[in-house]
A and B are shown apart, each in its own frame.
Chain A
Amino acid sequence: AQSVTQPDIHITVSEGASLELRCNYSYGATPYLFWYVQSPGQGLQLLLKYFSGDTLVQGIKGFEAEFKRSQSSFNLRKPSVHWSDAAEYFCAVEGLFGNEKLTFGTGTRLTIIP
């Protein structure tokens, strides 16, 4: 079965600084990969996804993520964070062709300091 690990429970970053959130997955092949963001009291919003092709994917709000097959990783990055980026970030994986379930990591809570 697939699994997702987000090793950082909580990250604090200064506004304007760069950000990288880590995500590692376990799956027998290349899965579909996603990053979702959850603001306080809100549902989940899709930031970006990787299905195939270019391993560097661009998402909304200036986020990008890079799929590295050799490291089984899909880390999320942003060159300069804004106070509005404070939220919970979830990495998720799904098996090929969407036949399997969406499995979420435990999440990383991002705090932005002025």
Chain B
Amino acid sequence: SAVISQKPSRDICQRGTSLTIQCQVDSQVTMMFWYRQQPGQSLTLIATANQGSEATYESGFVIDKFPISRPNLTFSTLTVSNMSPEDSSIYLCSGRGDLNTEAFFGQGTRLTVV
């Protein structure tokens, strides 16, 4: 499967600031997703990143807090805006190709908000 490079791998940020996480795939993928994994928890889907259009957000997640871009089929960014300590999590991006293929994941970004 394709390889996703995600950066930064970790960061410590001040509350009230924003952080942009980047994901670069080494080949074109049909779909890209962003997940949040809170400490000791499972993965929760934040949104589906749509190429050339607004992302599709899951219940409980809004564009103002988590703006997402996907300018092409290999790249996406997630911004965590106006951060608070509750945003401390691991954020993972994921990609998949056509139907009947599995999703693959980046290494994750471990975010700590102080």
Bitwise, B11-51 to A at CB < 8 A (1) or not (0) is 00000000000000000000001000000011101001000
- Give the tally of cross-chain contacts (CB within 8 A): 46
Q: How many residues of A contact B (CB 8 A)?
A: 20
Bitwise, A24-61 to B at CB < 8 A (1) or not (0) is 00000000001010000111111001010000000000
Q: How close is A65's CB to chain B, nearest CB, in angstroms?
A: 14
Q: Which of B41, B43, B45 has the most CB of A within 10 A?
A: B43
* B→A interface (CB under 8 Å): 1, 4, 6, 33, 41-43, 45, 48, 58, 92, 94, 96, 99-108, 110
Q: What are 8 A-B interface contacts by the 8 Å CB criterion? A: A34-B102, A36-B105, A43-B92, A43-B108, A44-B92, A46-B103, A99-B99, A102-B45
* A→B interface (CB under 8 Å): 34, 36, 41-46, 49, 51, 90, 97-99, 101-102, 104-107
